[in-house]
Amino acid sequence: MYDICSMLTKKQRNLLLFINKKIRSTGVSPSYEEMKDSLNLKSKSGIHRLITALQERGFIKRLPHKARALEVLKLPETASANDIYNTFSPTVIKGGLDDANSKTNNEEISVLGNIAAGTTPIEAIQNEVSKVTLPVEFHKKGDFFGLKIQGDSMIEAGINEGDTVIIKKSNYADNGQIVVALIDDNEAMLKRIRRKGNSVALESANKNYETKIFGPDRVKVQGVLVSLYRNF
């Protein structure tokens, strides 16, 4: 079966997207074993054939003098933001349905204001403006706070304007994670983080927004997205 826009078979397309995600999240190409497992193939010989086909079609190239090193040159035109980035499917905690019935086994966390998910960062807010109720299991796994989303730059990661994102406090994040990024100790944004060399990229999950690039000393991670709270 062929993707008409990219002229790739389904396996070629899936392998290309897997390689791209792995490189973006870790900075290195996946092993042949990882690629084999990702496609549920029985042997690595099939991976060799798929990589050769992708190379012949100009989607990837092998890097000389490096074992199993690959570079992605382009992606299918039909690839969505969730195809391109590490997929994040937030666990939605439903609010406003039956709060009275749920409070026995739940605990509250503070919502510290708004967080930008658009083109312009907003001033970081550290004052509690409200509270949301979370399952008690959350509190056994770390320290959390909430921020209300302004903007639509993360909609293809399932994060909508008006949602309250649940953030686990942390000053470190892996490449590809969605984080609260503090810029110049003043403004905060919710973006996907990717470090490369001496730069930090803050990426949106919306094709209409450009990636923002900063020096490493300008960006501080304040926490990592773990879930979101949405009123129904």
Q: What pLDDT sits at residue 188?
A: 86
Residue that is written with structure tokens 């293809």 in the block: 156
Residue 56 has pLDDT above 80, yes or no: yes
Q: What pLDDT sits at residue 179?
A: 92
Q: What pLDDT sits at residue 107?
A: 75
Active-site amino acid positions: 153, 191
Q: What pLDDT sits at residue 228?
A: 85
Q: What pLDDT sits at residue 122?
A: 55
Longest C-alpha distance within the chain, in Å?
A: 63
CA angle, corner 201, sides to 192 and 221, nearest 5? Answer: 60
CA 49 to chain centre: 30
pLDDT > 70 fraction of the chain, expressed in percent and rounded: 75
Tell me the C-alpha distance between 60 and 219, whole Å: 31
CB distance 89 to 179 below 8 Å = no
91-149 confidence digits (pLDDT tens): 666 665 444 444 556 778 888 878 877 655 555 556 777 888 777 666 667 788 889 89
pTM: 0.60
Query: How confident is the model over 48-70, as a mean pLDDT?
Result: 86
Half-sphere exposure at residue 135, Cβ-oriented, CA atoms within 13 angstroms: 9
Domains, the chain = 2-79 (1.10.10.10), 91-231 (2.10.109.10)
Q: What is the mean pLDDT of the chain?
A: 79
